[in-house]
Amino acid sequence: MKEIITTDAFNLFKPENCIFVLSVEADGHPSGMTACWQMKCSHEPPLMAISLFKSGYTHKLIKESKEFVIAVPNKSQENDLLYFGSNHGDKVDKFKETGIETLPAKYLKTPLLKNASMNFECVLEKEVDSGDHIIFIGRVVAAHVDEGKKILLNMKKENGQRVFEEY
């Protein structure tokens, strides 16, 4: 077995599920990003975690609003996922630019993604400092599913581009 630098090992550690992380500005306008570092933490209580850069706009909004939505994409949202992952919410209105549609959440100000395979409404339960990231642990207060849609999976990069598959 060959030893490699940690960053290269992280990049090889696939597959990853890419998700949308949605938050809301003080005026109620939605914002969002693409993230691949997330996990289910607990069945009871139902908890999910996301790991975000400390300097990111979504990080700031979650700290302020104390809530977030995890939206699980499908193949029809591939271009939106790429756009949300390569643009900054404090510089561009990603929702306006992509035309991505939202639905009101049941318990949160942060909206759901209309065409996502799944949406999880999360109330911020805890923050854990983890180097250059913060892990936000959210209590899932509602979960929504579109039963006919598969889940998009980020498999790897080929020629500098992400290649997606569904499962």
Q: Where residue 33 sits, what CATH number does that domain have?
A: 2.30.110.10
In a domain, 8, yes or no: no
In a domain, 104, yes or no: yes
- Res. 10 pLDDT band, cuts 50 70 90: confident
In a domain, 12, yes or no: no
From 124, 98, 123, 128, select the one nearest 32 (Cα to Cα): 98
Question: What would the pLDDT profile of 82-109 be if each residue is shown by its tens digit?
Answer: 899 889 988 999 999 999 999 999 999 9
**131, two tokens:** 């180097």
Residue 55 has pLDDT above 70, yes or no: yes
Range 118-122 average pLDDT: 97
**Cβ atoms of residues 47 and 140 within 8 Å:** yes
**138, two tokens:** 């959210």
In a domain, 92, yes or no: yes
70: Cα separation from own chain's centroid: 5
Q: What domain range includes position 28?
A: 18-166
Query: What b-and-e string marks burial along 144-164, b requiring 16 or more CB atoms within 10 Å of the CB?
Result: beeeebebbbbeeeeeeebeb
Burial (CB count within 10 angstroms: exposed 0-12, middle 13-18, buried 19+), residue 62: buried
Question: What would the pLDDT profile of 11-53 be if each residue is shown by its tens digit?
Answer: 777 777 889 999 999 999 999 999 989 999 999 999 999 999 9
Number of domains composing the chain: 1
In a domain, 159, yes or no: yes
In a domain, 9, yes or no: no
In a domain, 2, yes or no: no
In a domain, 85, yes or no: yes
